[in-house]
Amino acid sequence: MAELFSELDQIDNLEDFKVYRSKLIKKSVFWKQRVLLLKKKGGYKSNKDLADVCCVTVPTVRNWLAGIVPRSRDNFIKIGFAEKSDLEQMNNLLQRYGYQALYSKNYEDAVYKFVLQNKDRLPECGYRYCRKIIEMIKDDVENEQDAMNVPTTNLDERLGCMRDVPELTTFICENAEIFKSRYSDFYDYVKFFVSENRLNEGSKDTINKLAEIQGWTSSMKQAIYDIKNACWFPTRLKVISIGVHLNMTIEELNHMLHLAKMGPLCPQSPFESVIIFSLRDAALNDMIHRDGGIELCLSVRNLLEKFDDFDFIGDFMNDLPTEDDQC
């Protein structure tokens, strides 16, 4: 990945970037072969069989078989379970495609790790079984107020000692505050950049003013208010969208992704390579200003619109303002 980033770093014009990106698109053939092998070795006779075990739709499986690489970490986790991966194999899959390995301070990841580490003793060991456990404990984790303060460094060791679901449930609920607080630095970072986008109108309600100037969608506005109230669970596309709206540099956005427990922008992703090129080009052309403006958003939108091979970024594009929104 470092080599790819170095190669992308040397590109300073759109035509060379298009050549670079076309090489990434060709990598889809390897993904197609992987899914075909999974379907054959797993004994999944139809696309519906594979879709059922992965908890996705049949069209999603068709996309995978057409070489379209998944765009969400969760889908890679689903595929890892379908491949009957162990913990090491699951983490290798996630990291290969630019995502963070399973993280014990995230209670959902903690469930995945528990199931992967105890496959031989559990009645089920697939993704659907994990989600049943997660749904069972979700409300307890999010509503728990008084929690034991177990050091984060001990979570992996403690989790490795779990032997059954009731024990896992007790462990997660007792440490609910640790799981809930895992994004506290991320929340503070976003709130800092909201305040940094100075609007010069003296408005006390910076969020509403930014929303008005940038033409935020309701989902963007809700995400920022939830971050302000420390109750938002990050999703990768929305985190990247927030970074663009708050006029972050590529280094700042990558740091925000790190605080959200995610890997940095991935130069081997056809979509994220566009974001990398856009932010680097914007920095070179002095388009990144902490003024609440939409120049960076428009630059990203204009470049994304030059490519027609995306099937998953509708919400991301909807978040971005258009020329008509420019004041």
**Per-residue pLDDT reduced to its tens digit, 211-259:** 888 889 998 999 999 999 887 878 788 999 999 999 999 999 999 998 9
Please state whether the predicted TM-score (pTM) of the whole model is above 0.75. no
Closest CA to 220 of 295, 288, 325, 316: 316
In whole angstroms, give the CA distance from residue 167 to residue 163: 7
**Residue 150: pLDDT band by 50, 70, 90 thresholds?**
very low
Averaged pLDDT, 99-109 = 81
pLDDT computed for residue 167 by the predictor: 81
In whole angstroms, give the CA distance from residue 287 to residue 280: 10
pLDDT (tens digit, 9 = 90+) per residue, 107-131?
Answer: 888 899 999 998 888 878 899 999 9
pLDDT greater at residue 314 or residue 201: 314
pLDDT computed for residue 196 by the predictor: 86
Averaged pLDDT, 185-199 = 88
**Residue 145: pLDDT band by 50, 70, 90 thresholds?**
very low
Return the SS3 of 11. Answer: coil
Query: Could you give the angle at the alpha carbon of 282 between the alpha carbons of 278 and 287, nearest 5°?
Result: 140
pLDDT computed for residue 25 by the predictor: 67
pLDDT greater at residue 112 or residue 6: 112
pLDDT computed for residue 312 by the predictor: 62
Averaged pLDDT, 5-15 = 79
pLDDT greater at residue 151 or residue 102: 102
Closest CA to 210 of 196, 227, 189, 229: 196
Averaged pLDDT, 289-316 = 83
Query: Could you give the angle at the alpha carbon of 324 between the alpha carbons of 321 and 326, nearest 5°?
Result: 70
Domain ranges of the chain: 182-325
- Could you tell me which residues come within 8 angstroms of residue 290 by beta carbon, excluding any fewer than 6 positions away? 193, 196, 197, 198, 247
pLDDT at 146 over 50: no
pLDDT computed for residue 182 by the predictor: 74
Q: How does the average pLDDT of the chain come out, rounded?
A: 82
Burial 225-245 (b: 16+ CB within 10 A, else e): eebeeeebebbbbbbbbbbbb
Averaged pLDDT, 202-209 = 68
